[in-house]
Chains A and B, each alone.
Chain A
Amino acid sequence: MGWLVASSVVAGVLAGAWGLVPRGSLPAVGSLADVALGALLLGVGVEIGQSETAWRTLRRLGPRVLWVPVAVAAGSLAGAVIAGWGVGLTPSRAAVVGAGFGWYSLSGVMVARLVNLDLGTLAFLANLLRELLALLVTPLVARSLGGIAASAPGGATTMDVTLPVVARAVGPEGALVAFVSGAVLSGLVPVLVTVLARL
Chain B
Amino acid sequence: MLLALFVAGLLVGRRRLGGPWSVRAARALVPAAVAVVVGLMGIRIGADPALLGRLPVLGGEAAAFALSTVIGSIAAAALARRYVELP
Contacts and interface: CB of A to CB of B under 8 A. Distances in A.
Contacts of A153: 70, 73-74
A110 B66 contact: no
Contact of A190 (B6, B27, B35): B6
A83 interface: yes
Contacts of A173: 86-87
A38 interface: yes
Given A5-B35, A50-B23, A177-B84, A191 B8 contact: no
Interface residues of B, number: 70
Interface residues of A, number: 105
Interface of A: 1, 4-5, 8-19, 21, 23, 26, 29-30, 32-33, 36-51, 60-61, 64-65, 67-68, 70-80, 82-84, 86-87, 94, 97-98, 101, 105-106, 108-110, 112-113, 117-118, 120-122, 124-130, 132-134, 137, 141, 145-149, 151-153, 155, 170, 173-174, 177, 187, 190-191, 194
Interface of B: 1-3, 5-16, 22-23, 25-27, 29-31, 33-48, 51-52, 54-55, 58-59, 61-81, 83-84, 86-87
